[in-house]
Amino acid sequence: MSDTDTQTIDIDRERGNFRYEVDYEYDAGTGLSEETIDYIANAKGEDEWITNFRKKALRVFNKLPLPTHWASRDLESIIFDKIRYYLSQGQMPSRSWDEVPDEVKETFERLGIPEQERKFLAGVEAQFDSEAAYSNMKEALRKEGVIFVGSSEGLKEHPEIFRKFFGKVIPTNDNKFAALNSAVFSGGSFIYVPPGVKVSQPLQAYFRINAESFGQFERTLIIADEGSEVTYMEGCTAPRFETSTLHSAVVELVALKGAKLQYITVQNWSDNVFNLVTKRGWAEEDAEVKWIDCNIGSRLTMKYPGVVLKGKRARGEVISIALANDGQHQDTGAKMVHQADETTSNIVSKSISVGEGRATYRGLVNMPDHLSGCKNNTECDALLINTNSRTDTYPAINVQGNGNSVQHEASVSKVSAEQIFYMRQRGLSEGEAMSLAVNGFVNDLVREFPMEYSVELKRLIDMEMEGSVG
Amino acid sequence: MDSTEISSPEVTDLGGAFERHLALSVVPPRWKEWKRKHWDHYRELPMPRPREQSWRFASRIDFDPGGITLPSLAEVESSFPEIVGQSDLVREQAGRLVFVDNHLADRTELPAELVEKGVVFQPLLEAMERDPDLVERYLFQESTNLGSEKFHALHNAYTEGGYLLHVPDNVEVDLPFVVHHWHAMAGAGVFPHILVVAGRNSRLSVVDVQQSWQPDREGFICAVGNVFAADGARVFRKTIQNFNPRAVSFQLDTNNVERDTTVRSINLNLGSRRARFENEVRINGSGADVKLYSLTVAKDHQEFDQRTLQIHNAPHATSDLLYKNALLDESRTIFSGLIKVAEEAQETDAYQTNRNLLLNEQAQANSLPGLEIEANDVKCSHGATTSQLDPEELFYFLQRGIPRRVAQQLMVFGFFEEVIEQFDHEELEENLRALIREQFSGDVLAQPTPGAHAEPEETPAS
């Protein structure tokens, strides 16, 4: 390892690094004010209650300070006045691939979306800047009553279902960026799975930032009704621009009694994206919410998926992999808020810091005094590749009550010289050995991802490690 | 809550209490200037607020450090004989100092053999007269980075009761140095200052015992301990905090650790209404081996707030922390620990473990274990667990005919033993076990367990 490990690595994210000139039909311009909101509301033809909700959120956003008393000061480099908050070519997504505008189609073609379609996935929604460009779902699911639409369409067409939970899991004043999203949200998925329906194939969405200085603020709400099951996968990309770009989503999950909800994210943002996302789920009695999260790329990611365990025996899980490369800070973690007896939660987080990358784990586990029989297990392991890599761990654990137990363990290590030596002795190059060791480090988590994602992840890691010991 | 609670946490100036203190103080003029500087600093610094990271989970400041009094020698002198008689936690010792409300109440003469070797074990005021250069090199050189900067400044403004222990290069002392710091008068502000300077390849151990004379008098105690361990030194520091349940106490410690040193620090925390302990270790030399232990038994509404920082600035060093808390009644504990490994500190082994045992549903344990690692060739880990007595273990005891209450006691004392035996001093360990048992008097563990039917009433085997 000795003299080679100061070499830095550049991850291959070229697959998403391209953009097209697009004539936008709607453009709210730069900066954020009540007028911006009026423009968005007008362009979308929204009901008055939504516009009021947005305006209230804007006031909260203006009032809340940046959380720099604990978070990275890099947040101060976001200039909210220079961001474009709404860009679209029309609100209603096309239902057939042929109707999608050519430039947008070409973008998604390169990202492999029709490819996914051919694989008979249950449903796909693709978001291009502010609005969904394409959305489709298998007819069989529609017949069973599954709703899979964009956020605007969801609030307009199915208010009786979505309004009840909209903004309830993550209130507007939860944090500054949740407030920002509540003010200018556009796009994202609204999903409803009726009682007892088990969606066997994952529903998918792709989020793509195409325009420079653009802020993407998608809003996702998934409701799994009693006894239902659903898996949702999202992928994110953006090309590399001169100026930085903001992605600030809000994702709310509701798993009613006995439901199972799984949310899978693979993000591969370019390294000038601020990715500041609020994600939280509710799990009622016997329900299960599971977040599987993979964070690669971006300049600063702040993302702490959480589960509020509201009903007896509810279960929450967060599985996360983060890879921080040069100039990147992956500030990720998990929150488990126990609110009922016999609830259990599990957090497994693995991070890899490469070059000057910095990976941070931040966690919260809360068990108040009226509860009994709750359990939490947290493991976070960090792997440091180069001598200038950095990792931090900041969990917060807060326990009271009867028969509750919590265990937290974190470790930091590097790939040992002995391991590398052992593999080199058997004829592997140093790069191959490193790649194998790193893949071994994350292997038990990678297996939790669906097949095509785990293959992709493995490939990404392989490429990284080849460079690391050049 | 206690009557020390006040409605407004604003700092009062007490109508010039500090000015009076300064006028009466017998310290040299230079020192008076320092006092003034620290007092100004204290007044400039804002009162910590719970939203600050370094005060996360702590309850709001509900005491007024400006409201203290500094009892004069005449006021406390009459209590000296009784208090000195009670200063008997460790009998076999190299030397003993007893302070009562900042005043020296008693001292033993250092054995001539140690004096010849150049060992200094003196009250600060006296040391300042005899060897000002030595004192000035170490006095007020440190602060805290863990949140209590304001209280540290207040300490520096007021402190006069404290001592300097200096063991020169290559001198090894087997018996411990023992210092008792007593809080005696109602509303007293007590500011023990502890300076431990260990020369190259020296060896020493020191025991600080902090207690209240009366069980029900309020007090504000803010102790500062600074250890300087030169290359190859072996320092073992033991601290017992057992103030009465109306006192508010702070212990703000730093340890400067150089090459190839062995530094142990162990704390037993039993007393105070709320006690905050900040302990910072800076490893500046390779080959250092640092172990930090703490045991806390919290009851009633006590709050123990512990903040630690293990800083590795040099390669090939080890630090290992184990903090155990047992919580009764509606007590609260906060453990916030951070390991910081600098980029140069390759081949660091640093560990941090926090174990909380909840013995009542209303008790609350908070853990904030943290790591900040900038080197890559390290072994670092932290672990935090919070749980109750294991029902399976309890079942095992019951099955063998051991009454529930006794079984619970055995399990709880078993939990403590891992730390107690680290005191590595039989007499002290026995005395500490007795102190801990007192903490349990009147607790559910000393009562028959409700719902446990047909179990014989037995006195616990000790």
Q: Cα separations (Å) of B20 from A233, B13, B191, B454?
A: 71, 12, 17, 65
- Within a domain: B136: yes
Inside any domain, residue B310: yes
Model pLDDT, residue A87:
80
Is residue B2 in some structural domain? no
Query: What span, in angstroms and rounded, lies between the C-alpha atoms of B247 and B38?
Result: 24
The alpha carbon of residue B175 is apart from the nearest alpha carbon of chain A, in Å, by: 38
What is the rounded average pLDDT of the residues A406-414?
A: 88
Q: Which of A159-168, A269-278, B72-81 has the lowest mean pLDDT?
A: A269-278
Best-predicted range by mean pLDDT (A204-208, A459-463, B83-87) = B83-87
A213: pLDDT strictly greater than 80? no
Going by pLDDT thresholds of 50, 70 and 90, the confidence category of residue B450 is very low
Domain count, chain A: 2
For residue B337, give the chain A residue with the closest CA: A394
The residue of chain A with its CA nearest to that of B358 is A400
pLDDT at A121 over 50: no
Residue at A330 is within a domain: no
User: What pLDDT shows up at residue B94?
Assistant: 95
Does residue B226 register a pLDDT over 60?
yes
- At A122 the pLDDT is 46
Q: Is residue A142 part of a domain?
A: yes
Residue at A91 is within a domain: yes
Flag whether A355 is in a domain: no
**pLDDT exceeds cutoff 60 at A123:** no
Q: Which of A398, A415, A418, A420 to mutate to test the interface with B (most CBs of B within 10 A)?
A: A398
> What's residue A16's pLDDT?
59
Does the pLDDT at position A216 exceed 90? no
Q: Which of A367-381, B164-178, B409-423 has the highest mean pLDDT?
A: B164-178
- Range from A306-310, A390-394, A450-454, B388-392 that averages highest in pLDDT: A306-310
pLDDT of residue B375: 87
Report the Cα B148 to chain-centroid distance in Å.
14
pLDDT in tens, B118-138: 999 999 999 999 999 999 999
Residue A308 lies in a domain: no
Q: Name the pLDDT band for B8 (thresholds 50, 70, 90).
A: very low
Res A11: pLDDT: 41
Share of chain B above pLDDT 90, in %: 74
Instruction: Out of A388, A392, A408, name the one closest to residue B367 (CB).
Output: A408
pLDDT tier, A110 (very low <50, low <70, confident <90, very high otherwise): low
Is residue A105 predicted with pLDDT exceeding 80? no
Instruction: Say if the Cβ atoms of A390 and B367 lie within 8 Å.
Output: no
Burial class (CB in 10 A: 0-12, 13-18, 19+), A443: middle
Among residues B230, B128, B105, B236, the alpha carbon closest in space to that of B176 is found at B236
Say if the Cβ atoms of A395 and B367 lie within 8 Å: yes
Tens of pLDDT, residues B236-261: 999 999 999 999 999 999 999 999 99
Nearest neighbour of B369 by CB, restricted to A5, A401, A408 = A408
A209-213, A399-403, B45-49, B231-235: segment of lowest average pLDDT? A209-213
Best of B305, B323, B371, B378 to substitute, by most chain A Cβ atoms within 10 angstroms, is: B371
Q: Is the pLDDT of residue A222 over 60?
A: yes
Q: Are B357 and B324 in contact (CB under 8 A)?
A: yes
Task: Summarize the confidence of residues A102-116 as an average pLDDT.
Answer: 60
Check residues B87 and A354 and name the one with the higher pLDDT. B87
Q: What is the rounded CA–CA span in Å between residue B48 and residue B52?
A: 7
Q: Note whether A387 contacts B: Cβ–Cβ < 8 A.
A: yes
* Residues on chain B touching A404 (C-beta within 8 angstroms): 358, 386-388
Q: Give the span between the Cα atoms of A63 and A431, in whole angstroms.
A: 50
CA pair distance A390, A212, nearest whole angstrom: 30
The residue that leads in pLDDT, A242 or A372, is A372
Report d(CA A267, CA A247) in Å as an integer: 11
At residue B11, the 3 state secondary structure works out as coil
Top mean pLDDT of A421-435, A451-465, B239-253, B362-376 is at B239-253
Query: From the list B376, B379, B384, which residue is nearest A397 (CB)?
Result: B384
CA distance A308 to A365: 10
Provide the domain limits for residue B148: 14-444+451-461
Confidence of residue A262 (pLDDT cuts 50, 70, 90): very high
The distance of Cα A182 from the centroid of its chain, to the nearest Å, equals: 17
Q: How confident is the model at residue B444 (pLDDT cuts 50, 70, 90)?
A: low
Contacts of B362 in chain A (CB under 8 A): 369, 400
A11 CB-near residues (< 8 Å, 6+ apart): A296, A297, A323, A325, A354, A460, A463, A464
Per-residue pLDDT at A23: 67
Residue B21 lies inside a defined structural domain of this protein: yes
In sequence order, the 6+-apart residues with CB closer than 8 A to the CB of B11 are B43, B47, B64, B65, B66
d(CA B320, CA B380): 10
Does residue A349 register a pLDDT over 70? yes
What is the mean pLDDT of the segment spanning A147-171?
90
B420 or A95, which is more confident?
B420
pLDDT of residue B264: 96
Is A189 a domain residue?
Answer: yes
A76 token code pair: 């101060």
pLDDT of B5: 39
- C-alpha closest to that of B337 among B386, B383, B288: B383
Tokens of residue B182, six digits: 């007593």
Residue B403 falls within a domain, yes or no? yes
Residue-level pLDDT at A22: 66
Task: For residue B318, list its beta bridge partners.
Answer: B289, B349
List of chain A residues whose C-beta atoms are within 8 Å of the C-beta of residue B444: none
Contact B51 A399 (CB under 8 A): no
Domain shared by A285 and A428, yes or no: no
Q: Which residue of A has its CA nearest to B379?
A: A413
Task: Among A303, A334, A351, give the residue marking a domain's end.
Answer: A303
Q: Is A388 on the interface with B (CB under 8 A)?
A: yes
Residue that terminates a domain, selected from A303, A336, A360: A303
Whether B459 has a pLDDT exceeding 50, the answer reads: no
Q: Which residues form the domain of A182?
A: 3-303
Q: Is the pLDDT of residue A119 over 60?
A: no
Least confident of A312-326, A379-393, B69-83, B155-169: A379-393
Which of A20-34, A429-443, B226-240, B405-419 has the least mean pLDDT?
Answer: A20-34
Tell me if B378 and A5 make a contact (CB, 8 A cut-off). Answer: no
Q: How confident is the model at residue A221 (pLDDT cuts 50, 70, 90)?
A: very high
Residue B220 has pLDDT above 50, yes or no: yes
pLDDT > 70: what percent of chain A?
Answer: 80
Per-residue confidence (pLDDT) for residue B457, from 0 to 100: 42
| pLDDT at residue B295 tops 60 | yes
Distance CA B150, CA B42 (A): 5
- Three-state DSSP state, A330: strand
Within a domain: B138? yes
β-partners of residue A365 are: A336, A397
d(C-alpha A174, C-alpha A57), whole Å: 11
Mean pLDDT calculated for residue range A366-385:
90
Whether the complex's predicted ipTM is more than 0.85 is answered with: no
Least confident among A93-107, B199-213, B229-243: A93-107
Q: How many CB pairs under 8 A join A and B?
A: 130
Inside any domain, residue B8? no
Note whether residue A65 is domain-resident: yes
Structure letter (DSSP) for residue A4: G
Write out the DSSP string of A404-450. -EEEEEEEEE---HHHHHHHHHTT--HHHHHHHHHHHHHHHHHTTS-
Task: List for chain A the helix, strand, coil content (%; round to 5).
Answer: 30, 35, 35
Question: In this structure, are A139 and A275 located in the same domain?
Answer: yes
Domain count, chain B: 1
pLDDT tens for each residue of B312-371 = 999 999 999 999 999 999 999 999 999 999 999 999 999 999 999 998 888 999 999 999
Contacts of B385 in chain A (CB under 8 A): 405-408
